[in-house]
Structure 1
Amino acid sequence: MKRAWLDQSDESLRAWFAERGEKPMRIRQVRQWLFQQRAESFAGMTDLPQKLREQLDAEFTIFGSVIDRHMIATDGTQKLVLRWQDGRRIECVMIPEGERRTACISTQVGCAMGCVFCASGLNGVERNLTRGEILEELIRIRNVTAPGERLTNVVVMGMGEPMANLDNLLAALDTAGRKDGLDLGARHVTISTVGLPVKMRRLAEHGKAYHLAVSLHAPNDELRSQIVPTNQHTGIEPILAAADAYFEQTGRQVTYEYVVLGGINDQPIHATQLANLLRGRKAYVNLIPFNAVEGLPYRDPKPRDLRHLIDTLRSAGVAVNIRKRKGADIDAACGQLRRKVEAEAQANAAQATADARAALATN
């Protein structure tokens, strides 16, 4: 099986080229084709010798995935379902907003956090994505933008819990941030987490000022443990303490994501508790009205409840925003399209099996 180019270290690549009598500059040339010129095969890298291109193609693969589905919403949002060589699938999204082109990427196949409203974790977690697979998402998403456009922002809010795959994520972001990579500055990258305090503190020590978003979703431990089961092992206070430490060490304001579930976490008592929880903190609340997921029993919040939540937070001096819904007509909420594609694949396989059996029976 061919090796994934994007998963190779510079050291291993230098050794590979040296064995073939080639200089390390060849690494830079290949990187330029991948990151700047959108090459999707070695064959088109015309400033490399023909024999070298053939050797590269024989041993490496640029992309380890196949695009199973590419959908474009009426608002310009584009969503890809990528299928890896082991048959597993993930989602990634390109979100246009004015001059911004934001990639929303995944870090795991599935998710183990079990948030009750999220389609990504309905079947649990299957595995971590590798450094190269995370990089491949970014390149795939960049490649669906118009010629001459570049990714301006990254949000790590796709499938999986980023802090549970932190080593591979940081390695991928370090490569993407290089001038000869995608030139993505740390201040244009947001990493989301349900709140793993030890990993949050480790991220603060990484030395790069990534933006941190904590998926809070409830203002008290009892309710949060119902919505985010992992809260039973952490609790809100240690998460807030780690977020405060992140702000103190990096100077980056922490965003608190809050999916608003109608009648569950959007009542006046919840608004008051949330305001009291965040009052005095350098915090920004991103309210996300629930996006209906087939098979889940939750509903959108009522406009008056959402308005009361906003007013209560603002009266406490807490900055708040309502996230715009993007790509609704292509199932852009995390995990939805992947589940649909996998259900279709299973149905097609079952039908093919039934057809084969019917053909054998008639013979």
Structure 2
Amino acid sequence: MKNILDLDTEELKLWMEQNKEKSFRAKQIFQWIYKGIFDFKLMKNIPIGTIDKLEKEFYIDIPKVVTKLVSKDEDTIKFLFAYRDGNLIESVVMKYKHGNSICVSTQVGCRMGCKFCASTIEGMVRNLSSGEILSQILKAQEEIGERISNVVLMGSGEPLDNYENVIKFIKEINKSDGFNIGQRHITLSTCGIVPKIKELAQEKLQITLAISLHAPNDTLRRQVMPIANKYSISEILDMCKYYINMTNRRVSFEYALVKGFNDGIEQAKELSNTLRGMLCHVNLIPVNEIKENSLKKSSSDNILKFKNILCESGIETTIRREMGADIDAACGQLRRHYLNN
């Protein structure tokens, strides 16, 4: 049997035709699923004979909620989801005045080895299918009773290490008869797999590309990000410029500030010189402290000084609002705690 969410409308139309069913049923079925109906028998305008065929061929893989944590201010909800095979992933819903955002996972675990991330500690188990990524939104919407309007691919996993499934997912949630989430409301975060950034640029999508940079030079970056041993910052920046030229979209650089490591005035000036003149934005992130390493959060004073140096160089810079620290909202923390207990 197959997860019907892994099919797009055209693929399900083809299946309908091959099984002597009317092709328009495909659109009807997905309309029901996007309304939160996850049982073929409850799809009222689908003939019983069609439902029987669907049930023999497909299942609707909606994950089960293992744990649901709500922050004290109720602005952040973290879910630990379980799929049919027992694998666990995390999704985080963040409530803003402009709408609800969800941070989705793209892999079970991660093989990138970044030292500040808990999701990579035990390595990667497997990729998520496009339907499994999509189902995180469906389940989250059911749980909160509200629409998701923004998606960030920043959960467990490296999105560009699961390229085909991620691209299919992005195109599906963008469709007008699906979630109808505009591409400019979708952000994809990568640690910097240069060849895949080039492929992404050639898709000419209007999503936001976010690069997990976290250091102003290769020497520092190699200490916390193994990917830096394969691709230099200059190679990543060259490919970012290619992405900008292909899409006319600015690139966002994620920079987790670690006390005494990359948060000094010298590093701020070096980063300013590196990025000056690019169509970009820097998102400063107070590092999430996890028990598996000794990385400590930079002081508020240092973060502000760092920001001011970048702004004075003409680089648009923001400090990410800390959300969900009281509920293990950092990537991979909740899954790891569950597995270890």
TM-score range, shorter chain: over 0.9
Identify the residue that residue 27 of structure 2 maps to in structure 1. 28
Say whether the 8 Å CA contact 1:161–1:193 is kept in structure 2: yes
Q: Does 1:144 align with 2:143?
A: yes
Identify the residue that residue 57 of structure 1 maps to in structure 2. 55
Structure 1 residues 16 and 209, CA, compared in 2 at 3 Å: closer, same or farther? closer
Q: Deviations over 1:157-208 (max 9, x none)?
A: 0111111111110111111111111101111111111111111111111021
Q: Does 1:258 align with 2:255?
A: yes
Identify the residue that residue 211 of structure 2 maps to in structure 1. 214
Specify every segment of 5 or more residues in structure 1 that has no aligned partner in the other structure, as ranges: 345-363
Q: Secondary structure at the match of 1:205?
A: helix
Identify the residue that residue 352 of structure 1 maps to in structure 2. none
1:238 is aligned, of 212, 235, 239, to 235
Q: Does 1:100 align with 2:105?
A: no
Q: Does 1:187 align with 2:151?
A: no
Amino acid in the other structure paired with 2:22: K
For 1:207 and 1:250, the matched residues in 2 are separated by: 5
1:320 is aligned, of 317, 320, 323, to 317
Identity of aligned residues (%): 37
Once the two structures are TM-superposed, the CA of residue 292 in structure 1 deviates from its matched residue by 1.4
Amino acid in the other structure paired with 1:115: C
Q: Secondary structure at the match of 2:203?
A: coil
Q: Does 1:341 align with 2:331?
A: no
Structure 1 residues 12 and 248, CA, compared in 2 at 3 Å: closer, same or farther? closer
Say whether the 8 Å CA contact 1:18–1:24 is kept in structure 2: yes
Report which of the two structures shows the higher radius of gyration computed on alpha carbons: 1
Once the two structures are TM-superposed, the CA of residue 64 in structure 1 deviates from its matched residue by 5.0
For 1:290 and 1:29, the matched residues in 2 are separated by: 45
Note the 1:40-119 alignment, pairs <5 A.
Answer: 40-63=38-61, 65-74=63-72, 75-119=74-118
Structure 1 residues 281 and 40, CA, compared in 2 at 3 Å: closer, same or farther? same
Q: Secondary structure at the match of 1:43?
A: helix
Structure 1 residues 9 and 271, CA, compared in 2 at 3 Å: closer, same or farther? closer
Once the two structures are TM-superposed, the CA of residue 14 in structure 1 deviates from its matched residue by 3.2
- Name the Cα RMSD after superposition: 1.6
Say whether the 8 Å CA contact 1:4–1:64 is kept in structure 2: no
For 1:316 and 1:15, the matched residues in 2 are separated by: 55
Identify the residue that residue 153 of structure 1 maps to in structure 2. 150
For 1:54 and 1:81, the matched residues in 2 are separated by: 32
Identify the residue that residue 38 of structure 1 maps to in structure 2. 36
Q: Secondary structure at the match of 1:284?
A: strand
Q: How many residues align?
A: 340
1:310 is aligned, of 284, 302, 307, to 307
Identify the residue that residue 358 of structure 1 maps to in structure 2. none
Once the two structures are TM-superposed, the CA of residue 57 in structure 1 deviates from its matched residue by 2.9
Once the two structures are TM-superposed, the CA of residue 86 in structure 1 deviates from its matched residue by 2.4
Structure 1 residues 303 and 9, CA, compared in 2 at 3 Å: closer, same or farther? closer
For 1:57 and 1:77, the matched residues in 2 are separated by: 36
Moved more, 335-344 or 115-124: 335-344
Once the two structures are TM-superposed, the CA of residue 298 in structure 1 deviates from its matched residue by 1.1
For 2:81 and 2:100, the matched residues in 1 are separated by: 19
Q: Deviations over 1:61-99 (max 9, x none)?
A: 112532222222233322221222222211111111013
Q: Secondary structure at the match of 2:42?
A: coil
Normalized against structure 2, the TM-score is what? 0.95
Specify every segment of 5 or more residues in structure 2 that has no aligned partner in the other structure, as ranges: none
Amino acid in the other structure paired with 2:326: D
Amino acid in the other structure paired with 2:221: R
Once the two structures are TM-superposed, the CA of residue 12 in structure 1 deviates from its matched residue by 4.9
For 1:76 and 1:217, the matched residues in 2 are separated by: 26
Note the 1:285-296 alignment, pairs <5 A.
Answer: 285-296=282-293
Q: Does 1:199 align with 2:188?
A: no
Say whether the 8 Å CA contact 2:9–2:30 is kept in structure 1: no
Once the two structures are TM-superposed, the CA of residue 302 in structure 1 deviates from its matched residue by 1.6
For 1:271 and 1:283, the matched residues in 2 are separated by: 15
For 2:18 and 2:278, the matched residues in 1 are separated by: 56
Amino acid in the other structure paired with 1:56: L
Amino acid in the other structure paired with 2:319: I
Identify the residue that residue 164 of structure 1 maps to in structure 2. 161
For 2:287 and 2:10, the matched residues in 1 are separated by: 46
For 1:104 and 1:38, the matched residues in 2 are separated by: 19
Say whether the 8 Å CA contact 2:269–2:309 is kept in structure 1: yes
Once the two structures are TM-superposed, the CA of residue 10 in structure 1 deviates from its matched residue by 4.3
For 2:333 and 2:136, the matched residues in 1 are separated by: 18
